[in-house]
Amino acid sequence: MTTLRAALRLGAGAHPAALSCLLALMLGSAALPVGAAWCTKLLLDEIGQGPDAQLGRAIRFAVLAAALVALATAANRLVSYLTAVVQNAVGIAANVSLYARVNAFLGLAPFEQPAFRDRLMLAQQAAEQAPYTVVMFAVGSAQSLVTIVSFAGVLLTLWPPAGLLVLAVAGPEFAIQLALARRSARATEQANRFYRIRFLYQGLLTDLRAVREIRLFQLGEFFHGRLTGALRRTGRIELDARRHAALVSAGWALASAAVALIGTVTVVAAVLRGDLTLGDLTIFLAAVGAVQSSLSGIAAQLGEVGASMRLFRHYAAVVHGPADLANGTLTAPPLGAEIRFEDVWFRYDQDGPWALRGLSLSIPAGRATGLVGVNGAGKSTLVKLLCRFYDPQRGRITWDGVDLREFDLTTLRARLGAVFQDFMCYDLTAEENVGIGRLPYSPDAVRRAATEAGVHDRLADLPHGYRTMLSRSFTDEDGETGVTLSGGQWQRVALARSLMRADADLLILDEPSSGLDAEAESRMNASLARVRQGRTGLLISHRLSTLRDADRILVLAAGQVAEAGSHDELMATGGDYSRLFTLQAGGYRLATP
């Protein structure tokens, strides 16, 4: 019931003015068909008087019937338009709320849960349909009721059992439509997993980045086969539901046609006996048709409402569901002393392996801390916890002694700048790609950050300078195809984006120079050293030479700190760091002729 109320509120609140006009028009025009049918009956009765018929009266009835039909048709056209207006407004309002909620998730966990993603997709479908269906059902039923009551009055006057027969057909029709709708909603839910798989392969086959590998490894057939499989699975589930619905509805249509036939034969017999007129027969036929189609219309709509409400539960669960992370209330202050990890244990899944196992470390303010470790050691996980994308299961992370969970996350994240290992390349202009690091941005700030990241010249040289679209998939506002950058240039753009927050309390650089050529890397290192001067930095790299100047280097192994110290100290201890550094340096020496 709460879900129904929520859907009604959403549907009715989206465009109240259009909805009121729609309601008035639908109710106002609901009695027009019975008026037109009655005039037609009077016209036929007049004609049926043969030589005694009055031409003037007959013409009056004909004109009135035609006028009422014309009015009903015009009203229908307006109703279609207003319906589209309401549907459009409802669709926008529902999607705005849905994505506002999605945006309000503070962490990453919901996006990594297949069950949540299934639910999100059903919620997207429900957002488009449910509130609109519920409102239209309410309005449509009111209109149908007016039509039914007026025609039922006519039927009862002419031949009372006919009214009762039609109503007897309606009861089971309701039950059937509801059962069919429930089955159709279940089919949608079942097919949902295959829909997502279908979208995955449709996306892969058209994604510009994926297309390269797909062509080279000749994966087209492989993915196409999987897409075909998913298409067939969804198609089969949908068709099963439809076949069942078609068979049940067809059977029921035959039963209700039999009722109409019994009524028609009885009335025709009465006409032949002279008890009823030809006009009575026409209005009887019109009434049976109108009452039956209105009743089955209500039943079908009721079924749709049932199916939509089943889907709308998913929408309500997302929009009104619990927050993924509890937000704190304190405003994060500038970092004064240090960030500490205190015996932090973390794993991504409840029964998965631990990614961090009792990690304890300190990131002192105003210093550069380097982080190294083999693949899977937990470096990126540490960064994600630092940004509070997840909370540790045990232990805590503190910012000047205060648990990160105490802070309002907007204020905490405003104090962080980061380049992630898998940074984003946005289909936006060059200026936006950099500027969104700190919104709202000024063009000067964008150019300064791009200069620091060593990418200003490249961006300024683009066909439309900073206004060039960095995309081969989307055109700019003038319809011109954009350009795309090299991997290293994109990396510098991502770095420039993070440097829009060069004054951030903590600058996290996760493999910032992995894609750069040697010269660019050395220039970037010098530039970063300048930017980081006196700031707190956390630098992660597999190229140990990049970290050499860090004040302190932490070596992570299996989710714990294995070694810690300056470059010279770590080299002196002869541990893993020293071994890896010597290995890398040796590689460079071997490469030198």
Ligand X SMILES: Nc1ncnc2c1ncn2[C@@H]1O[C@H](COP(=O)(O)OP(=O)(O)OP(=O)(O)O)[C@@H](O)[C@H]1O
Our CB check for ligand X shows the closer of 300 and 538 to be 538
For residue 193, give the nearest of 127, 119, 130 by alpha carbon: 119
Under the criterion CB under 6 A, does residue 174 sit at the interface with ligand X? no
How many other CB atoms sit within 10 Å of the CB of residue 258? Answer: 12
Binding residue count for ligand X, defined by CB under 6 A: 12
- How far, in Å, CA of 565 to CA of 551, rounded? 8
Our CB check for ligand X shows the closer of 373 and 537 to be 373
Q: What are the Cα distances from residue 40, in Å, to 60, 63, 75, 196, 267?
A: 11, 10, 20, 55, 17
Our CB check for ligand X shows the closer of 45 and 563 to be 563
- State the minimum distance, in angstroms, from the CB of residue 219 to ligand X: 24
- How far, in Å, CA of 178 to CA of 126, rounded? 18
Q: Which position among 125, 190, 380, 398 is part of the footprint of ligand X (CB under 6 A)? A: 380
- State the minimum distance, in angstroms, from the CB of residue 427 to ligand X: 24
- State the minimum distance, in angstroms, from the CB of residue 121 to ligand X: 20
Under the criterion CB under 6 A, does residue 550 sit at the interface with ligand X? no
Q: Which position among 381, 429, 433, 489 is part of the footprint of ligand X (CB under 6 A)? A: 381
Q: What is the DSSP string of 130-152?
A: HHHHHHHHHHHHHHHHHHHHHHH
Under the criterion CB under 6 A, does residue 377 sit at the interface with ligand X? yes
Our CB check for ligand X shows the closer of 35 and 358 to be 358
Under the criterion CB under 6 A, does residue 503 sit at the interface with ligand X? no
Q: Which of these ranges, 155-163, 247-255, 372-380, 485-493, lies near ligand X under the rule CB under 6 A? A: 372-380
Q: What is the DSSP string of 83-138?
A: HHHHHHHHHHHHHHHHHHHHHH--SSGGGG-HHHHHHHHHHHHHHHHHHHHHHHHH
Our CB check for ligand X shows the closer of 27 and 108 to be 108
Q: Which position among 41, 198, 379, 501 is part of the footprint of ligand X (CB under 6 A)? A: 379
Q: CB under 8 Å, gap of 24 or more: what pairs does 322-326 form?
A: 323/104, 323/105, 323/106, 324/105, 324/106, 324/107, 324/109, 324/110, 325/105, 325/106, 325/107, 325/109, 325/388, 325/390, 325/391, 325/409, 326/405
Under the criterion CB under 6 A, does residue 488 sit at the interface with ligand X? no
- How far, in Å, CA of 8 to CA of 407, rounded? 37
Binding marks (x or -) toward ligand X, 108..127, rule CB under 6 A?
----x---------------
Q: Which of these ranges, 149-157, 175-183, 368-376, 531-539, lies near ligand X under the rule CB under 6 A? A: 368-376
Under the criterion CB under 6 A, does residue 388 sit at the interface with ligand X? no
Q: Which position among 299, 300, 355, 368 is part of the footprint of ligand X (CB under 6 A)? A: 355
Under the criterion CB under 6 A, does residue 163 sit at the interface with ligand X? no
- How far, in Å, CA of 416 to CA of 420, rounded? 12
In which order are the strands placed within the sheet that holds 560-565? 416-419, 506-510, 536-540, 368-372, 552-557, 560-565
Binding marks (x or -) toward ligand X, 410..449, rule CB under 6 A?
-----------x----------------------------
Under the criterion CB under 6 A, does residue 348 sit at the interface with ligand X? yes
Our CB check for ligand X shows the closer of 136 and 540 to be 540
- How far, in Å, CA of 502 to CA of 146, rounded? 68
- State the minimum distance, in angstroms, from the CB of residue 508 to ligand X: 12
Residue 576 has which token pair? 């893993």
Under the criterion CB under 6 A, does residue 570 sit at the interface with ligand X? no
Binding marks (x or -) toward ligand X, 56..95, rule CB under 6 A?
----------------------------------------
- How far, in Å, CA of 204 to CA of 224, rounded? 10
Q: Which position among 378, 454, 482, 537 is part of the footprint of ligand X (CB under 6 A)? A: 378
- State the minimum distance, in angstroms, from the CB of residue 417 to ligand X: 19
- How far, in Å, CA of 344 to CA of 138, rounded? 55
Our CB check for ligand X shows the closer of 421 and 473 to be 421
Residues that bind ligand X (CB under 6 A): 112, 348, 355, 373, 375-381, 421
